[in-house]
Amino acid sequence: MLMDQLQTDLTTSLKAGNSVRVETIRFLIAGVHTIVTGKYGADWEKKMTDADVVDAVKKQIKTHRESIEAFEKAGRQELVDREKAQLAILEEFSPKELSDEELKKILEPIAASGEKNFGLLMKNAMAAVHGQAEGGRVAAML
Q: Given pLDDT bands bounded at 50, 70 and 90, which one contains residue 125?
A: confident
CATH T-level assignment (fold) for domain 2-91:
Hypothetical Protein Yqey; Chain: A; domain1 (1.10.1510)
Q: What is the pLDDT of residues 48-63, one digit of tens each?
A: 888 888 888 889 999 9
Could you state, in order of their start, the residue ranges of all structural domains in the chain? 2-91, 100-141
Q: What is the pLDDT of residues 108-122, one digit of tens each?
A: 888 787 777 888 888
Residue 58, C-beta contacts closer than 8 angstroms, at least 6 positions apart: 94, 131
Nearest to 9 by CA among 93, 96, 73, 100: 93
pLDDT at 75 over 90: yes
